Amino acid sequence: MKDFQRYTITAALPYTNGPIHIGHLAGVYVPADIYARYLRAIGKDVAFICGSDEHGVPITIKARKEGVTPQAIVDKYHAIIKKSFEDFGISFNNYSRTSAPIHHITASEFFKTLYDKGKFIEQSTEQLYDEEAGQFLADRFVIGTCPKCGNPDSYGDQCESCGTSHNATDLINPKSAITGNTPTLKETKHWFLPLDQYDSFLKKWILEGHKNDWKPNVYGQVKSWVDDGLRPRAVTRDLDWGIPVPLPGAEGKVLYVWFDAPIGYISSTKEWAEKEGIDWEPYWKDESTKLVHFIGKDNIVFHCIIFPAMLKAEGSYILPDNVPANEFLNLEGNKLSTSKNWAVWLHEYLEEFPGQQDVLRYTLTANAPETKDNDFTWNDFQARNNNELVAILGNFINRVVVLTNKYYDGIIPGRHELTTIDEETLLALNAYPSVIGNTIERYRFREASQELMNLARLGNKYLADEEPWKVIKEDPKRVETVMNIALQIAAGLAILSEPFLPFTSCKLHGILNLKDLNLSWDTVSSNNNLLASGHNIGKGELLFSKIEDSTIEKQLQKLEATKLANENISSNVEPQKELIQYEDFAKLDMRVGTIVEAEKMPKAKKLLVLKVDTGIDTRTIVSGIAEHYKPEDIIGKKVTVLVNLAPRALGGVESQEMILMTETANGDLVFVNPDGDLSTNGLKIS
């Protein structure tokens, strides 16, 4: 490992239109946290940086749907995400947000620097425009058919089916997500980053310089992009939510979210450095700093092509040394989907599994999607806990602590003559920091977690082979040596487990009373006497608890309910009609009414003739509900009536109004009822 002076570690900025789920954790935040914690453990200067990504069209779409401001949306989810990370033990040095003033200033200055250097192309182009909404359509406001794979629901910037990026104008049969109308083309001016001018730089830097040290999935995707030919990409958008373009004549335009979001790493570092009273620039501009981006595979193009091109254009920044992007994590055999609620949400997990952060951390690491998409299942989660954390690591620590308290009142015994197995065991312990560390430095966190578990296996095997509980009567001195060595392994586990299992490591430090011993990662390598004889340890406590089948069944039932709900929605819910204006809705006059008479219409199988007291008067309404209700069963029923509908003849009877009904998934008609005794006839519904 090159001896860098400092490390800047970034984790992809989570998008604040929803909470964090296990896919985010497995792909980005757990491996990044392991890496940062390990580097701190070996004494490195680390800036572990993240923050909420709060701009872009999806935020405005969600705000529009919920009838609130974009700021309300990002405030809500920023708070949820930040607290979830803190409670889960993700050890960011700083967690910021892109709506913060320091970010707006930093992003604006970055743009202005590139603009002043002539790094942008200013160009007027035809963009999709919604005439009815009166606005240009940013990419996520356009849906159409992907020109590459034919997916009919592709977004204007990227197809989620084939992963291809494109412009909204490339879509076949584009539709506005605001009104559903077919947009027109209208001229608008924007600024573009000419990525094609960085072609030779990217080929030399990545395709030649990182051919052997970047992950194959990352290298392959970058090569595909470069080989396909890079094109200028707009850095501004016509939108009212985001960072205003800092140029005269650019009113109504903001920095495109993909441009401003990665600059969030820089602004978050500035924010941290200001709080710490240190200079931020060495963490981004000194060649002795190692910059590493942790991301999911859907962000590779931004962190390996676009952001490096931006940094290169600016001229004073270092480039990432590595971008160890992971593949995707599925859930119970199906792709994670936030829109369909097919996810294990972190904030819900923390509520339902209190004190078990490390169980999820370990499971996600042991099954990390490092080289291919992997699957999280609740049964595997249970097995990892019960068969590994409880039965191997927890069992070893429990036996060591219980026997030490039983035989020696918690005081570590002395070490006597060592056997060959004793010496081999101590040498193996000394080797584990290097084995685990080298694996982490190669971003193989899954393998590193298993090496940690192998150290616990070493301890269990040593105790099982030496059987101190049997030897204690015939050779107490031998047992003193065995327990002394077993306690050294326990101390090693307390230190080496910290990057993977920080809460467990903290418990172990307390049980073994390590607080004032000044033990470190390097100490485990160089010292086979971590706990000196005479040192007093505490009483034992269970590190992990067995997870019962009933707990897992509850989670599976929760997912099954989600699946059924999604099936009902997809099979029974009609698509939304075109948007209407408030004035259109205000024209409707809906009132509470009561059915006072009901009879079947002669020679009409489906129709009932109703008399309804609307509070204004009593009106005749013909309703097609005869196959669902008997006349005598609905007399006296409160209903919702649209009273200002033009009369219409049905079966020879003039129907004056309409009763509001809905249809269930089974095809049954149900009254839309006004509830409560205070819902008197004639009350308006609005």
* Rama region for 231: left / alpha / beta (φ>0; ψ in -120 to 50; rest): beta
pLDDT at 666: 56
pLDDT at 667: 64
Average pLDDT over residues 376-394: 98
Return d(Cα 48, Cα 51) in angstroms, integer.
11
pLDDT at 569: 59
pLDDT at 117: 97
Return d(Cα 289, Cα 80) in angstroms, integer.
32
The answer to whether the CB of 481 falls within 8 A of the CB of 462 is no
pLDDT in tens, 176-220: 887 888 999 988 999 999 999 999 999 999 999 999 999 999 999
Pick the more confident residue, 41 or 616.
41
Give the confidence band of 99 by pLDDT, cuts at 50, 70, 90. Answer: very high
Whether the pLDDT of residue 571 is over 70: the answer is no
Return d(Cα 403, Cα 515) in angstroms, integer.
22
Average pLDDT over residues 75-95: 98
The answer to whether the CB of 97 falls within 8 A of the CB of 52 is yes
Average pLDDT over residues 593-621: 86
The answer to whether the CB of 291 falls within 8 A of the CB of 318 is yes
Average pLDDT over residues 575-586: 62
pLDDT, mean over the chain: 92
Lowest mean pLDDT of 106-115, 169-178, 245-254, name the range: 169-178
pLDDT at 417: 95
Count Cβ atoms below 10 Å from residue 674 Cβ, excluding itself.
Answer: 21
Give percent of the chain above pLDDT 70.
96
pLDDT in tens, 400-429: 999 999 999 999 999 999 999 999 999 999
Please, which residues bridge with residue 52 across strands? 97
Give the confidence band of 647 by pLDDT, cuts at 50, 70, 90. Answer: confident
Helix (H, G, I), strand (E, B) or coil at 466: helix
pLDDT in tens, 478-522: 999 999 999 999 999 999 999 999 999 999 999 999 998 999 999
Whether the pLDDT of residue 646 is over 90: the answer is no
Which residues are within 8 A (CB) of 524 and not within 5 positions of it... i.e. 6 or more apart?
Answer: 429, 430, 432, 433, 491, 492, 495, 496, 530
Give the confidence band of 579 by pLDDT, cuts at 50, 70, 90. Answer: low
Average pLDDT over residues 615-634: 87
Average pLDDT over residues 591-595: 88
Give the confidence band of 675 by pLDDT, cuts at 50, 70, 90. Answer: low
Q: What sign has the CA pseudo-torsion 474, 480, 481, 482?
A: positive
pLDDT at 131: 85
pLDDT in tens, 364-380: 999 999 999 999 999 99
Count Cβ atoms below 10 Å from residue 480 Cβ, excluding itself.
Answer: 20
Average pLDDT over residues 466-473: 96
Q: What does R_g of the chain's alpha carbons equal in angstroms? A: 32
Return d(Cα 440, Cα 327) in angstroms, integer.
18
Take residue 51 and report the two structure tokens written for it.
């923050």
pLDDT at 678: 55
Side chain identity, residue 648: R
pLDDT at 340: 87
Pick the more confident residue, 106 or 576.
106
pLDDT at 137: 81
Task: Sort 570 into a burial class: Cβ within 10 Å, 0-12 / 13-18 / 19+.
Answer: exposed
Average pLDDT over residues 437-450: 98
Lowest mean pLDDT of 300-309, 469-478, 623-632, 652-661, name the range: 652-661
CA distance to 30, 138, 299, 635, per residue, from 85 (Å): 10, 31, 20, 57
Whether the pLDDT of residue 677 is over 90: the answer is no
Pick the more confident residue, 528 or 431.
431
Average pLDDT over residues 555-580: 72
